[in-house]
Structure 1
């Protein structure tokens, strides 16, 4: 971990603020930079700016493409969550084409997405985030905390096998820690599970609008379930282990709940369709959205303000503010009203134009390629965050109280997760409770619980898929036609949070296309109203607990906060070559054109 720092002077008087920058942030994908001003006397981060220096531009080169290629192209937005993009694109296409996939196809898609959540959350939590809490890192930043950890017995030692909190920290040491290595092996199994359902990871080869090309058999489901049960057993150990570790930080460092804490503004677009109800028709979206196995919703100050996907869709606004783009005011409106007759705002993704304006970074002006999505509640443009994905998902699902399939149940204040009997352990019931804070520790804790939630849900999906196969309903794809004119929107949850795809079709081609994954929501800079983005807001104002002095400062509390959101910059910024460049390949006289 490296930092650059310099002390500024104002009117020849030394400032108490020290500028420190981490660019790029390590252990993530993409060029995320965090620029701060730290008051070491008060032990607080006084100011924070989140930047990204790469632009790619899928919204630009999607225009004019065949809509049926949309999911193959957009899956390449990211080499981590490409299948989430492909899934969301297929949802948008299903709406635009008016096609409803067979039930079995949707259960297979759910099984693939569940495997992806298990895979990605596992490898990020245990092998990337976990390093921030491992023995080596804590020894370098908070040796007093490590000393206490070695003396503190783990409350759930009988469930996970580690006697002390220090033992848990040692197990997280990269490459040498026992648990670190075990998690790597588990990630392999979950990746295999995904490939069984969708052919290839991370860019699915059997996923299409109208369904899937997967050949569904009892053997296929058996292969998936055999791996799933090993993962279920793993989670019976992981959840109590992480509870012990995260609870310890609250007691060892009084006030640590303030690290990464921000106003509770959470967004979740829902996940896991129920094919009994979902027909992908916009006019029915409110109803089938509420039947998802992860409930869509917006939480403001801890209260669930809506679970209506139509209201969620119409509230999305794309602001520019401190990003490197020109405004599109006065340019063409693609969609003036939604299929229900509701007016659509010019700043909605259906109407967005992408006008890049490269320029020098100016933290007092424009400083990032990431735009600033906001959700308009009728009065304010809210800077929703995703809580890293799981925090928002569990929060909205818990408060809505709409999910109950025997394996997961939302109670109105919590989520209960029933993990079935496995080879070495009987059934276990876990319960995630709505926390008091939207902070660093609770984002990380929710990620662990959502791994268990995804695993329990996958058991249900596999049972439903097997019932379809045994009943002889093995069709997995439905035919469709691409309309000359049409619109579609897809809503789901990428691993790290809310994901939407908005498409406009004209003359049978894509006229406008805008994917909005969690990264721009979380990593956005200050918007047109001066409101900081969630990374900025969560870091700015947080206390510093690191024991190192300024000269040896590593910024571990800042890094923990940023990584708690599961940052992944490729989804937020895109590449653009303007009018295109011509490349002439010169061959030697002796070289044939086909060589």
Structure 2
């Protein structure tokens, strides 16, 4: 962190680059008004460009899911799944129902795995006893005296005891989360062959061998996860509610106007045929309902409207504009006009340059936005770290209704049955008043419970297919000469879309847009700040340290609440780099062994 006396009154430049406990290459550059204890200005930047949209051109589209899985070493299976969805549409193939339940089970396990590791081993370190002692010792004193309201459910007597449970390496819940990470990765591997780059997911279905034993092995692990979740949810509630009560005004930390995006997840094979023409219908049938939520109200849950409203802006990004380029797609399969700034028509033209925060360009992340077709307003949508938008959109739509998870129109009820150690528990996530740091983090633990409940339902459905003798997991297809496809899915940290254009049976254009592209986008060409910048600006400072010992904990909590993953957010640039060739032909040594 660099501290420099700023030239603008009492503002002080304070920078964190790179930020730890996330996937790196994110820099946050702020001006702090210590006199008024607030963040006055913020710019977020990424120093990494990778270019998947460049080198995918000309490839066989059937390789797309294997290639795009490597965009990220954490949510690679989310990319593979989304790419498969886009290919299914382009090829006109409808996978067997059993294969869809298997994909849903794999993705449910991934949500539980990633959210648990991130929440308990990375995010809650910011709220643990050790960190609070360093940044807010007065708050820790209050926590020692504050009894935990849900102690009977989770076993920790005071709020300070909960904070100690998340101390790195030593805390009980910190250690338990690591164990859960192993169990949930095994669940992923059972369904997808490998984690984090699946080996059994394909367009047209899966290569997983489906049997009752497969789902029993998954269920046995899931039951142990339920015990963990039943303790973790009330622990998180106690901790986060304490921050509101003990620090009046803390709801303003990371707060911004409610502008949320969810692209939906978990397909219903009884409805989904992967045709663009029916995408609005099968999108609403997803077990996480897609939607755009503005000012707390659902604007749309129609994936066709969502797709047509996508716009990729530049402004502060290191790219040349592609406005002069020919459009790949002028109209969608329904005949609707497709904008030049839509992902189907984007051309990635990198333009490396010196970083300039004073009205210039400063990030490799572009600025995706969504334009409301009714009003024309352009929104810098955020994902709420993923879970907040998912729960909010699903709750308001009120369409999900299973024995384990039900959307009521204003809340989500999650019923987890008796598990290995604990009795049945019912949780209810209610639409909050704010879109802020605390509520993004709170939603994450509730979505772990949501994904666990849905996994139970998916197991029931998969076993039902097997009992009926419907055991096929793959459907044949042909690659067309020309086609377009779009995959809509939720990566762990939020919205994920893959836009595909095929010409001459090859990829003519391909653009993956993961959540960090949205959350960490810089100020766009209309002067609108990206969600992370927006959430940090005007954040009040509650840290007790003065300027010299300032750690910026409230800022960092806000950054991590959005769960940034910069390898996804910036898509390898070689420029005029050198090509180095080396020969590694193995030969036999004198002792007959292979050597190089």
After TM superposition, the score normalised by the length of structure 2 is 0.97
Which of 58, 68, 79 is 2:62 aligned to?
Answer: 68
Q: Which residue of 1 aligns with 2:267?
A: 273
Which of 337, 346, 363 is 1:343 aligned to?
Answer: 337
Q: Which residue of 1 aligns with 2:470?
A: 473
CA contact (8 A) 1:35 1:50 kept: yes
Structure 2: segments with no counterpart, 5+ residues: none
| CA deviation after TM superposition for structure 1 residue 166, in Å | 0.3
Q: Which residue of 2 aligns with 1:9?
A: 7
> Using the alignment, how far apart are the partners of 2:48 and 2:160 within structure 1?
40
Structure 1: segments with no counterpart, 5+ residues: none
Per-residue displacement from partner, 1:191-224 (whole Å, max 9, x unpaired)?
Answer: 1000000000000000000000000000000000
Q: Which residue of 1 aligns with 2:378?
A: 381
Which of 546, 567, 572 is 2:569 aligned to?
Answer: 572
Secondary structure at the residue paired with 1:425? coil
CA contact (8 A) 1:60 1:576 kept: no
> Using the alignment, how far apart are the partners of 1:591 and 1:553 within structure 2?
61
Q: Which residue of 2 aligns with 1:79?
A: 73
> Using the alignment, how far apart are the partners of 2:499 and 2:180 within structure 1?
35
Q: Which residue of 1 aligns with 2:225?
A: 231
> Using the alignment, how far apart are the partners of 2:314 and 2:304 within structure 1?
24
> Using the alignment, how far apart are the partners of 1:574 and 1:88 within structure 2?
16
Q: Which residue of 2 aligns with 1:371?
A: 366
| CA deviation after TM superposition for structure 1 residue 330, in Å | 1.1
Q: How does 1:85-484 map to 2 (within 5 A)?
A: 85-364=79-358, 365-378=360-373, 379-484=376-481
Which of 532, 537, 551 is 1:535 aligned to?
Answer: 532
| CA deviation after TM superposition for structure 1 residue 594, in Å | 8.8
> Using the alignment, how far apart are the partners of 1:37 and 1:541 within structure 2?
10
> Using the alignment, how far apart are the partners of 2:381 and 2:370 within structure 1?
7
| CA deviation after TM superposition for structure 1 residue 263, in Å | 0.2
> Using the alignment, how far apart are the partners of 2:263 and 2:463 within structure 1?
28
Secondary structure at the residue paired with 1:9? coil
> Using the alignment, how far apart are the partners of 2:103 and 2:332 within structure 1?
27
RMSD: 1.5
Are 1:560 and 2:560 an aligned pair?
no
> Using the alignment, how far apart are the partners of 1:225 and 1:481 within structure 2?
36
Per-residue displacement from partner, 1:300-359 (whole Å, max 9, x unpaired)?
Answer: 100000000000000000000100000001101000000000000000000000010000
Q: How does 1:503-542 map to 2 (within 5 A)?
A: 503-542=500-539
> Using the alignment, how far apart are the partners of 2:100 and 2:250 within structure 1?
42
> Using the alignment, how far apart are the partners of 2:394 and 2:583 within structure 1?
59
Count the aligned residue pairs: 589
After TM superposition, the score normalised by the length of structure 1 is 0.97
Q: 1:74 to 1:423 in 2, by over 3 A?
A: same
| CA deviation after TM superposition for structure 1 residue 30, in Å | 2.2
| CA deviation after TM superposition for structure 1 residue 583, in Å | 2.0
| CA deviation after TM superposition for structure 1 residue 587, in Å | 8.1
| CA deviation after TM superposition for structure 1 residue 424, in Å | 2.1
> Using the alignment, how far apart are the partners of 1:285 and 1:201 within structure 2?
29
Per-residue displacement from partner, 1:254-281 (whole Å, max 9, x unpaired)?
Answer: 0000000000000000000000000100
Secondary structure at the residue paired with 2:522? coil
Secondary structure at the residue paired with 2:10? strand
| CA deviation after TM superposition for structure 1 residue 581, in Å | 4.2
CA contact (8 A) 1:290 1:308 kept: yes
Secondary structure at the residue paired with 1:460? helix
